[in-house]
Each structure stands twice: as structure tokens, then as C-alpha cells.
A and B are shown apart, each in its own frame.
Chain A
Amino acid sequence: MTILACSHRRHEWRPIIVLLLLAATTLWPTNVTAADEPLIMGVFPRRSIAETSKLFTPMSDYLGEKLGRTVKLVPSKNFQTFWKDVTEQRYDIVHYNQYQYIRSATHYKVIAHTQEFGRDSVAGILFVRKDSGITEISQLRGRTIIFGGGKDAMLSYIAPRYLLMKAGLKENDFKTVFAVNPQNALVALHYRKADAAGGGEVVLNQPVVKDAIATQDIRVLASTEPLLFLPWAVKRSMPAALTQSIQSLLLDMKNSDAGKQVLKSAIMTGLGSAEDKDYDPHRQMTIAVLGPDGIAK
């Protein structure tokens, strides 16, 4: 008798266990799927893939850790590939230059800008050698001017061109040559490969430039108004909460040791808040230099 009674009580728990197992199997896959979907982070390829990965992997890891989901850095081998991925909105988070942002602003929303040397903005500059005798932009007529990167370089091309334009020098009034980047443009100027060079004002202070040339031989011929540094943007389709989380993480990075380490790795002093209207000056300069088509997608 006693045995029968015990056996009966044990059978009473079976429906409960079955229900718990069913609930677990139903809910578990749903949560896991949401957490595993990575956020894709893109960085414009002004450096090599390896260098880009080295600089920004800590950033993606940091964000992934903080967000509780994977943030995958996908570096591009060149600008064409990068721009293609931008236009196809493959990136959830993207870091690029000001010109690229204003061209992709319909799909991406800027949430932060980089701070370099503790500054939020930087001017576009026309550099000349001190011993060149050039004191006016107009003296550059017929001369060779070297720009860093290409025509989509905001500070190295568009901004200096804007200064030239304002001084009355059209594109055909000088000979345009491009260095692979702004730093090289400045080095080339030092080596007298050009009479002037265009670039951001921070370039002159960059160690790589200081190590390469005697920067005291270079002087600023003209500069634009300060322009906000490089933008960080997210897809406009990103949920607002996630956008907010990412923005908060980015802006708050400089307040923690781990965040500072990440910023140092990415050669930044911090990240500041930004919104689309902060890049209107860039838009105006671009339209002035490249025309309305210049900012077309």
C-alpha cells in the first residue's frame, strides 16, 4: 500500500516538467538569435586593412562587449568597395570623412565626431614652404599644388580648393597633383615636389610628418574656418534605443580607462556629440567646390 501511494505522487510532477521543457525550448532559440546578430562596423580605408583592423578592432570589441552583442569590424580594401558598402547600407556603424557623410546622410545619421589633439574641429589649410616666397594665394596661379588622397578628401582637397576658389583660382589656374594622403602631400611640399599643399591643420603636427620632414620649414598660407572632425554614423534604420546606446557608449568612452585605451588605440583623444547640421559647413564648401553634383550619392 505504501509503495503504491508513493508511485502515484511521483507521476503528479510529470506534466509540470514537460511544460517547463517546452517553454525552455521555445524561448531559448529566440533570445540566442537576437544576441548573435552582429552589428557591422565600417571604417573608411584611408589606411591599410591591417592597420585599420589594428586601430579599430578594440573599438568594435569594446562596443560589442558593452552592447552585449557582436560588433564586427569589416575593413575595406579600397574606397570603391567601402563606398559601395556604404551606399548599400551594409554597415550598421560607419566611420568616414565629412564628405562621405554628407553624401550618405540620407541613409546614415551622424551621432559623434572624433576629437584629435583634444580638439573637435580642424581647419583646411594651404601650406607653402617658408622659403618659397609665396605669401598670397594668388601667387599660386600657374603653380603646382598637391593634395592628399583624392577629390573626396574634405580637409586635404575640398577645403583647400575652397580657399583657392575664394581667392579666385579655378581648377585650371594651377596644376593639381595628388599624394596618396595628406601627410605625403606635406612631405612632397617639403621636397619641393609642389609649390603648395592642401591639408588639415593637424597634419603638420602629426608625428609621422614631423619625423619625415623639418616642419619648421613649412608655414600656413591660408586656412578655412574650423570644421568638425570626422563623423561616426549609424544607419537611420537602426532602432532608436540601440542608436542611443551606441552614441552613449561612444561619448562616454573617454571617461573610463578601458575607453581611453580604445581611443588611444584609434589615435583619437575622444569622441564628441554630433548631429547632421554640424556638417552643414562641409556641405556648403563641397557644393562650392564640386558643385551640387558633388554631394550626390
Chain B
Amino acid sequence: MRLSLGAKFTITVTIILVATIAANTFYFLGTSARFHEQQLLERGRALGRLISLVSPDAILGFDFLLLNRYTREVSAVPDVVYGVIVDAKGEPISTYIDDKDPLIKKQIDAAGSKDLSPLLQKLDGQSGLVRLQFPITSNNVVLGRFLVGISRQSLENEFRRQLIVQSMVLAAIVLFLSVAIHVVFRANVLKPINKLIAASEDVSRGQFTLVETKARDELGVLARAFNVMTEAVKREQAKLHRQANFDGLTGLPNRMMAFDRIKQEISRAKRSAQRFAVFFIDLDNFKNVNDSMGHAVGDELLIAIGARVQACIRDSDIVARLGGDEFVVLAPDIASDAKAEELAERLIKAVSEPQLLAGRKVVAHCSIGIAIYPDNGESMEELMANADNAMYQAKSTRDGSAIFFTAEMNIRLRERMQMEQDLNLAVELGQLSLNFQPLFETDGQRHCGAEVLLRWHHPERGAISPASFIPLAEATGQIVSIGDWVLEQACRNWAKWHNAGIDPGFLAINVSRVQFRRRLSVRLTELMANFRIPSHALELEITESVLLDDHSQVAEELRNLRAAGLTLSLDDFGTGYSSLSYLKRFHFDVLKIDRSFVSGLPDDLDDVLLVKAILAMAKGFDLKVVAEGVENHDQLRFLASQGCDVVQGFLLAKPMNEAAYSNFLRSRKVEVNASQTGAAQHGYATGRST
């Protein structure tokens, strides 16, 4: 049974009161009973002594009537149930017996006669009777005895009566005190506590009610503490609410509130049969800002863009930051796609306004995906996914564009997802393979190694271009396992060729920035040890995007790779940011000129100037230069004339599978052996062959 605090307190107090008063009452009654019994005995003794004193003359004078008067007088004494004077032989000579006394009556009824001797014998053992006897003497001669029996009945009755009275008084006192204590307790304790409970329940419901704090006692202190706590909870609640619903950086509503508002807007639009638009905004290349100018500047840019977006939308529109560089704008009551386009243009314009950050003018661009309710989805999840998909499509077209979601996007998305699933199985099912495109020294066109190229032969779709699945693998993280497989297969092949007595030259392997983050140096050291491959047999091609990541981590990993003896090549040089500071900060061995610069050689002046500049710079940094995409002799001659070290392209050799490359190597081995003398004369030695 669940008892309230008041009930528990009252019961406890009542028990204490009952115990205390009852103990006191029983002590009092006990003392009183002993006192009364003592009085009873004293009365009996006084009576007995008196009768003993006055009886001798009457006995000697055979004045039995006088003795009877004495015993009759004895009978008048309260509680005396019998008084008997017996002679020296014990024969009764004067008797008074109160045969109405319950105890006497009971014995008489039991015995069936009033015979004195057996009656006295039976009474002798009765606890309810005090039996006294006093000798009656004259001149030291015993004339008889006076026997007196005093009943404890009235004493017990009085005790019972007192007990009842005291119990009633006790009950009345306990009742009164309990009620009084309960009333006082309820007024002074329970009431404030109940107020505190009510206030606590209010707080739990989000209503921050304060309680009275007039009392100066502990409850008053508790109430004040409760109020302080309530205020703190209120502040924390507001803080939590803000943290839960607003973005800490920009102050805009966050993802949670955005989703909630979209859901509300869906309900509202459904009722009013209206359309609304969701704009999924993602900043283009925002990471570059963070990486190049620092996160603080990036945050500053996000704040500025958030404010500008906020400023360009209607009051009824809502802008929220979903996280990172993603924003969403909810625009209710969009009557037409044209209105949505107008808003998208305003958003693009607002985002692309130049912003002065850290003393530099920064222009940001964004890609916007637009989803319209109910055309592009009737649920929040659907609308967001479709807007995201549209944004993804926008991002893949050009910077600073906005695209409406179309059903085809979903088809592409499904294809992408299917490809992602297929790619998961590609390694296990042996659908991936390596191709090798030979690399040649420019001056003597001597084979010096090969670039390892990944190929995926889909059983249904046939050969899938790396340009299609590598970005997907990088985006999904599958590139880690795939890249590891590539490294292992490359090492295995190199070891196989080497063990077969064929010089494979070096193998240039492309590594992804994702791999680079996963302790690539450790894995490569492990593979080289397993396959007994010398470090110079491998060259790692790293794109500039790797260098955009955390500089310290990149620098450390590059140091580890260099320490392991690996050759580092900066791939696709010139297509990206191509900061010269990279070359200074990170110690690369090779620069690889992108095929887009080679294709215009030697007629395109820009390409000529650019390639010349790259080659001159590489010489300055003592870097070897590899030019890829060499497809004709003019390009080859130009590169040779400009001092390019190594060339790669269809002109010299197409990419080939393992078997073909093995044959290529074997044929090259014969060729080398045959022209070993000539080669030595032309100075083609790369120093890489083992």
C-alpha cells in the first residue's frame, strides 16, 4: 500500500504518542495498583491487629455476639469478603462471609455447601484474594486467630476502570494530538511540499512556476533553492532548445527545426492544397576555404552567407543550416516554378557576393537543388532526398547553378546506388583487374616502368570507366579496400615478374586522398616486406587534392613514405590549385604533367608556355617530370627537346593487362639484352632497374 508522507508522519507520531503515553499510563496504573494493594494489605493488617486486640475479652467472656459484632464490623470494611475468628483449636466461633462476592459465590457453588473449612482452603489458593491471619492472645496464651480475606476484585475492577478511563483519555489525547500534529504538519510541511511537487510537475511539463518563499525554515530554504533551480532549468531549457533547434554558428534554425518546419508545412499545404519549395544549398569547394584560410575564416564565411540568405528571402520563408556547408530554404506558397527560379537566383546571387575575410576578398558559389511539394515528394524525407539529389546534379554541372529535381535524377541515383552495391562485390567476384601502361624515358625511349591502372569489368555492363566508379568509391569509402587490393596486386605482380627474372621497372600506383588518411605508409611497408619488394620499385601518384587535407597529417605521412624509400609523384600537376608552396613544403620526386596540357603541344602556345614553365620549375626543384597523354611524335619531340624525363601515352604503349604486360616485359628483356651495348651508349639508365 502506498502511504503519503503525511500519513506516514502521522502514523509514526501516533505510534510514538501511543507508546509513550501507554507506557506512562501502564507505569502509573502499575504504581497505583501496587499502592492500592499496599493500602489493602495495610487496611487488612490494621483491621486484624484491632480485632486481635479487642477479641480476647470477648472470647474469655464467651461474648460471641460481640465477636460477631466485630466480624460484622469487619464486613463493613470494603473489599473484606470474609472475617473469621477461630478458637485455639481452629474451630470458628465468629464468622462473616460475603457469599455475594463473586469469588466466594463461585467456590460455594462449586462446593455445593457453605462449609467453612473447605471453603477457606479453596480460597487459600485464589490469586484474587489477600488472606491474612492474626493471633488472638491473652497473657501469652493463644486464644484463637482472626482470619481475614480481602478481595482484590475491587482493586482489579478499579484497575480495569482506570485502564479504561486512561485508555479513553489516552485515545482522546492521541487523537487530539495526532489530529493537531497532522493539521500543523499539513499546513507547515505538506502544503509547501505539495506546492513544490506541483511546481516540479509544472517544470516537467515545461511550465516554470515559482513557489512562495516566505517561510524562513528549511522548507523555505528548499523553496528558494527550488526556485533557483527552476530558473537554472529554465535557462538551460532555453539553451537546450536553442541548441537543439538552432545552429550554434549561424544562429539559423538547424536541421531538426528545418525538418520539423517542413513537416508542418506539408500538413498546412495539404490542407490548403498549396505548393511549396525546398531549396537544398551546398557551397561549392567550401573545403578549400577551410583548408587554405583556416576554419575560423570558413565559419565566418558560413555566418555571412547565412545572414545574406536570410536577408534575401521572404518573411514567410525559412532558412536553416543543415550542417557543414549545407543550407536549406523552405519557401511556402510557391505558385509556380518561375517563382522558385527567381528565389534560386536571388539565393545564388546572395551567396556569391564577395566577402572580405581575413583581409582577402572571397567569392563563394553554391549549388542548389529544388524540390517542389507535392510534385517532387509528399513527405519531408522524400522532399529532402530529392532536393539533395537535384543539388548533387547541380554540383556536377557547374558552380553556381540551381536545378529542379526531375524523375531522371532518381534514375541516375538508383544507378549510382546499384553501382555502389556492385562495387562492393567487385573485389570478391574478381571483376576488378589491373592494367599497366608502360612509361618510357624521353630521350632514349627506354622502358622504365608502368602506371598501374584499375579496370572493372562488369558482367552485365561490360567495362566501366574508372572515371565513373573511382569517384563513387571515394565518396563511399570503398576506395580504401579497393586501393588496398590494387597495392597488393601490384606488389604481387612486381614480385612475380622479378622472381621470373624479368625487370618490371617501377610501378606507379595512384593513391586516393581517402587512402592517404588511413596510414598508407604502414600498409605499404607491410606489403613491401611481404613481397620482398625494394622501395624504389614503387612510385605513388598523389593528386593535389591530397595536399588540401590537414597539412600536418599529410606532411607526416609523406615523410613516412619517403623514409620508407618510396618515390612520390605529384599527379595531374597544373589542373588543380597547383600551389608552388606545395612543392616547397612537401618533398616530391616527380611531377606528372596532365594530359590536357600535352594534347595541345607543340602548336598551342599556352600549353607550350605552361609545359615549359613546369619543366623549368621542376628542374629548379630538382624534380623529375613525367608527361602523360603523348599521342604523336611532335609531342614526344617537343617534350624531349624541353628536357621532360619520362613520357607515357598511346604513341608509345597503350595500357595492357597483366598477361600482355608480362609479354611486353619479356619482349623488352630480349630487346634490352640485344641492345645493351647501345643503351649504355645512349645513357638511358634510370637507376631504378634492379
Contacts and interface: CB of A to CB of B under 8 A. Distances in A.
A55 interface: no
B65 A191 contact: no
Contacts of B62: 146, 177-180, 184-185, 187-188, 193
A97 interface: no
A208 interface: yes
A187 B91 contact: no
B5 to A, nearest CB: 73
A184 B59 CA distance: 11
Interface string A200-238: 000000001001100000000000000000000000000
Interface in B79-99: 87, 91-93
**6 nearest A-B residue pairs (beta carbon):** A187-B64, A179-B62, A188-B62, A180-B63, A191-B93, A180-B61
Contacts of A181: 63, 65
Contact of A179 (B61, B87, B91, B93): B61
A169 to B, nearest CB: 21
Interface of B: 61-66, 68, 87, 91-93
Chain B CB within 10 A, most for which of A192, A211, A212: A212
A156 B65 CA distance: 16
A148 to B, nearest CB: 9
Contacts of B66: 180, 184
B500 to A, nearest CB: 153
Dominant secondary structure of chain B at its interface with chain A: mixed
Interface residues on A, range: 10 to 19
Contacts of B91: 191-192
B138 to A, nearest CB: 16
Contacts of A208: 65
Contacts of B87: 191
A183 B64 CA distance: 9
Interface string A154-191: 00000000000000000000000111110111011001
B63 A184 contact: yes
A183 B93 CA distance: 14
Nearest to B58: A180
Contacts of B64: 179, 184, 187-188, 191, 212
A212 B93 contact: no
Contact of B63 (A177, A179, A192, A211): A179
B297 to A, nearest CB: 133
Nearest to A191: B93
B61 A212 contact: no
B578 to A, nearest CB: 150
Given A184-B66, A187-B64, 10 more contacts: A179-B61, A179-B62, A180-B66, A187-B65, A187-B68, A188-B64, A191-B64, A191-B87, A208-B65, A211-B68
B689 to A, nearest CB: 159
Nearest to B63: A180
Contacts of B65: 181, 183-184, 187, 208, 212
B560 to A, nearest CB: 137
A121 B164 CA distance: 63
Contacts of A212: 64-65, 68
A188 B68 CA distance: 12
Contacts of A180: 61-63, 66
Nearest to A209: B65
Contacts of A192: 91
A188 B63 CA distance: 8
A186 to B, nearest CB: 9
Contacts of A184: 61-66
Interface string A28-42: 000000000000000
A218 to B, nearest CB: 13
Residue from A181, A183, A187 whose CB has the most chain B CB atoms within 10 Å: A187
A184 B66 CA distance: 9
B276 to A, nearest CB: 124
15 contacts: A178-B62, A179-B62, A179-B63, A180-B62, A181-B63, A181-B65, A183-B65, A184-B66, A185-B62, A191-B64, A191-B91, A191-B93, A193-B62, A208-B65, A212-B68
Most chain B CB atoms below 10 A, which of A177, A178, A193: A193
Nearest to A183: B65
B195 to A, nearest CB: 82
Contacts of B93: 191, 193
